């Protein structure tokens, strides 16, 4: 683990421990440190519910109590809660049979794709549309690894699979993204080719686009 990441994890662990012990100021600091990425996580999937689900994530983090396992990071723990809440929300509100499978079902299948995604003729928006066609867990892995700069180990913690599985699924996700983009025949070929060739670069720019279009943490919370 990089020194900077280790230090951040230590700070987060202390803040979480103090928050659970009743220190509201520590909870607010933790909330402000991680609100933007957690909000972005939901914004790319259930934009209209992103704020509520973000608050639910931090509330669940407080209420669950207990100790994190040794070596686990608080941010991976938070994203694990967020993933659980996301899948549960789909099962309760977006699928009547409550059989949402995050390795099979995609956001596009469950809630559809934003109709204006391609209006700007922008590779970032094209990539967002393709991401939403991936199975939910593959979309999550891509976003964690490329947007949030999670390690393979941290990504594995979030989705609850071995590190080797994360690597193989990331490879599958990249292949599927290329296939989805290539299948968009109503999009100019030059744009499709550019997006596929520069996929990792566009993934980071897409993260930044969502951050610019989202919102910062509220003044109070947690």
Per-residue pLDDT reduced to its tens digit, 117-147: 444 456 677 778 888 999 999 999 999 998 8
- 219, part of any domain: no
3-state helix, strand, coil in the chain (%, to 5): 70, 0, 30
The answer to whether residue 154 is domain-embedded is yes
For 159-207, what is each residue's pLDDT tens digit? 999 999 999 999 999 889 888 888 876 666 766 676 666 666 666 666 7
Query: Would residue 186 count as lying in a domain?
Result: yes
What is the 8-class DSSP label of residue 53?
H
How many Cβ atoms are within 10 Å of 73's Cβ, its own excluded?
23
Query: Cβ neighbours of residue 7 under 8 Å, at least 6 residues apart?
Result: none
- H-only helix segments in 65-95: 74-89
Structural domain boundaries enclosing 114: 3-213
Look at the chain and report how many structural domains it folds into: 1
Q: In this structure, is residue 221 part of a structural domain? A: no
Closest CA to 25 of 12, 35, 15, 10: 15
pLDDT cut 90: percent of the chain above it:
48
Q: Is residue 95 part of a domain?
A: yes
Q: Does 60 reside within a domain?
A: yes
Is residue 144 one of the residues assigned to a domain?
A: yes
């Amino acid at each position: 683990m990089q020194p900077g990441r280790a230090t951040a994890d230590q700070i987060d662990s202390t803040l979480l421990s103090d928050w659970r012990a009743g220190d509201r100021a520590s909870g607010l600091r933790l909330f402000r440190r991680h609100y933007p990425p957690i909000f972005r996580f939901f914004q790319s999937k259930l934009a209209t519910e992103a704020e509520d689900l973000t608050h639910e994530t931090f509330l669940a983090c407080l209420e669950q109590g207990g100790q994190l396992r040794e070596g686990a990071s608080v941010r991976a723990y938070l994203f694990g809660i967020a993933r659980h809440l996301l899948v549960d929300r789909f099962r309760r509100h977006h699928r009547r049979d409550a059989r949402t499978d995050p390795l099979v079902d995609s956001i596009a299948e469950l809630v559809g794709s934003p109709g204006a995604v391609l209006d700007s003729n922008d590779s970032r928006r094209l990539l967002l549309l393709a991401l939403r066609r991936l199975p939910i867990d593959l979309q999550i892995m891509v976003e964690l690894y490329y947007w949030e700069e999670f390690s393979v180990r941290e990504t594995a913690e979030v989705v609850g699979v071995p590190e080797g599985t994360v690597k193989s699924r990331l490879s599958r996700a990249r292949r599927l993204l290329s296939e989805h983009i290539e299948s968009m025949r109503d999009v100019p070929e030059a744009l499709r080719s550019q997006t596929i060739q520069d996929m990792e670069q566009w993934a980071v720019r897409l993260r930044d686009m969502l951050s610019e279009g989202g919102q910062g943490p509220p003044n109070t919370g947690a």
